[in-house]
Structure 1
Amino acid sequence: MNADTIKHLIEQGLPGARADVQGDDGVHFEATVVSEAFAGKLPLARHRLVYATLGERMGGEIHALALKTLTPAEAGARDA
């Protein structure tokens, strides 16, 4: 598994999402995901949406995935 594949899976599974995925060892990754789908959701619900895009790969091919999940408005405020 590589970071580009995870990015593609997340962006395909959450239409309109932008994902930035890092990880060099093939099993431990960090991702920042920006999606309008996160609006009004608590962090756990946001993470579940991302995990759903990866399915059975979580805990298998992907041993660990540290997540930052933001709405576009939160991402804009963070970048300002």
Structure 2
Amino acid sequence: MAMVANEIEALIKAALPDARVVVEDLAGDGDHYAATVVSEQFRGMNRVRQHKIVYAALQGRMGGELHALALQTSVPE
């Protein structure tokens, strides 16, 4: 079963409560999304570590319910 954007956003915000999260369904199929996540908790981390935190927040749904996620992460300016 595919995921909906607000479900992805809720999982990320549960792990990163301060995050600004924008999720976009790229193909309209509930399987291919893009997410932008901005969090102070990323400060001092490299991009790989930031992405690992977001993927961990998805609790194993990547590759199953969620087929693809184009991810952009950053710290607030």
Give the alignment's TM-score, normalised by structure 2: 0.90
Structure 1 residue runs of 4 or more that deviate by more than 2 Å after TM superposition: none
After TM superposition, give the deviation of residue 55 of structure 1 in Å.
Answer: 1.4
Q: Deviation string for 1:25-72 (max 9, x for gaps)?
A: 111100000001110111110000000100110110001111110101
After TM superposition, give the deviation of residue 12 of structure 1 in Å.
Answer: 1.1
- Paired letter, 1:3: A
Q: Does 1:22 align with 2:49?
A: no
Q: Which runs of 5+ in 2 are unaligned?
A: none
Tell me the equivalent position of 1:48: 52
Tell me the equivalent position of 1:57: 61
Give the alignment's TM-score, normalised by structure 1: 0.87
- Paired letter, 2:17: P
Q: Which has the higher helix share?
A: 1
Q: How high is the sequence identity, in percent, across the aligned residues?
A: 52
After TM superposition, give the deviation of residue 18 of structure 1 in Å.
Answer: 1.2
Aligned residue pairs, count: 73
